[in-house]
Amino acid sequence: MIRGVAAHSDEMTGIMPLARGDDALASRLALIDASEVSVDAQYYIWHDDVSGILLLGALERAAGRGVRIRLLMDDNGVPGMDDYLAALNAQDNFDIRIFNPSTVRRPKMLGYIVDFFRMNRRMHNKSMVADGAFAIIGGRNIGDEYFRVGEDIFYIDLDAIATGAVVAETSAVFDAYWNSPSVFEAERIIDGQGTQASFDARLEAVKSSAAADEVAEESIISMKRILADGVSLEWTRVQVVADDPAKGQGIASQDQLMISRLFRILGGVSGSLDLASAYFVPGKNGTAFFSDLVQNGVDVRILTNALDTTDVFLVHSGYSRYRRELLEAGVDLFELKLRRENIESDLQVLPLGLSGASLHAKTFSVDQERVFIGSFNFDPRSALLNCEMGFLIDSPTIAKGLSASFDGPIASISYQPKLTPEGKMIWQENVADGEIVVYQEEPGASWLTQISLAIIGFFPVEWML
């Protein structure tokens, strides 16, 4: 499918970032359509929208030609999908399982009242493996906003497609989750009221839409771009970093947590750390960790969402508690701002893709030599509650690309919080012709918003953010 799959060491992996949403969707569709033996996929969110239904339709076609489909979904991320999932699960070669399902199906959120601590642990993993030969891992869920289908709000996000040694590791992670005690067969959870006719009607309605026609056209363009001369896989060493599925039961030991491995990786930073995290709540330990890195001579730059781009206000309140301390320590912060008319809609922020309404990527570059691409946000929820996974890639090329984006493009689409010599916090915004606008108060924050942020800070909810 992708040029560059040749004879390489058994320990090597061919890897390529997928920064553009259309490339990410086209790659998934192409992998499913080309599959001959199996497709294994696990996702936190799978929407009932154009991209979600088209991907389910592709999986259904694959199952029809004898491909074994295993689809593992987090129960929180598939609202209103029970009928469709029941219909697909009833087909030959199509098996669906659900992670930490609610015992109450309608309304599903009542399950939190019955079993809050179990239901509060979610499977945030995002991966797809086709024929045991190719794998896609990253930050994208399945939904139009992740692939920039249509003209609505979309996310800046990042995936990677891989072939070679790391695919077997990725498959092993999937198998561990598929067989974990937190996972249940769909037929045990869903009433089974769905009919094939209902899904067929939904699929036909989507396929006949203008948005689906646009996806088809863009998929052709995307695959031509991916297959074009000069676009090839980089062969290097890649490893999967993942939480043990025991985390879904709340019984994972410290060494089974992904955060422990990440801190060991980050502990070896000697020169620079450039990190993008959609939801960034470092907590006391994380703030001390990043501060110590700076004290040891490491340049630390962090990109997260600004108040006017975050989609989770509570998370921003958690981040804002540590912002001053991070700035005092010497950490450079960037807050992705709401798109303005003076920013071109096709501005590239390589390798994070197009400038959009909100950051969703979770990636970091270590010493411009290694890069992480995955589902892990630097917040308490990713560290202690949700199950996460990602690729750690030995690639100066990809790592330097991420770091280079902090040197230029990211500054042009972000607010930069800073401290004045008097210790007052300000926000700088780079606008046209090199002009810098300075805000004395947080951009987008009304007096009511500022009061709300302060009040929320007093409540002991950080562990859930």
State the catalytic residues: 124, 126, 131, 360, 362, 367
Q: Which of 413, 403, 388 is nearest to 338 (CA)?
A: 413
Counting Cα atoms < 13 Å in the Cβ hemisphere of 22 gives 19
The answer to whether the CB of 161 falls within 8 A of the CB of 127 is no
C-alpha distance from residue 19 to each of 147, 198, 234, 326, 353 (Å): 10, 34, 15, 28, 5
Residue 94: what are its φ and ψ, rounded to 5°?
-125, 105
Amino acid at 27: S
Report d(CA 347, CA 326) in Å as an integer. 29
- Asked if residue 17 has a cis previous peptide bond (ω within 30° of 0), the answer is no
The residue among 341, 340, 314 whose CA lies nearest residue 443 is 340
Q: What is the DSSP string of 137-195?
A: EES--BSHHHHT-SSS--EE--EEEEEEHHHHHHHHHHHHHHTSTTEEEHHHHS-----
Tell me the two tokens of residue 287. Answer: 């703030």
Contact 289, 323 (CB under 8 A): no
Q: Which residue type occupies 262?
A: L
Query: Sheet harboring 389-394: ordered strands across?
Result: 238-242, 389-394, 370-374, 362-366, 272-277, 299-305, 332-336, 414-419, 425-430, 436-439
Residue located via tokens 């390489």: 8
Nearest to 170 by CA among 373, 399, 395: 373
Helices 283-295 and 258-266 sit at what angle, rounded to 10 degrees? Answer: 20
Say which DSSP state 339 is in.
Answer: P
Measured in degrees and rounded to the nearest 5, phi and psi for residue 441 equal: -125, 160
R_g over Cα of the chain: 22
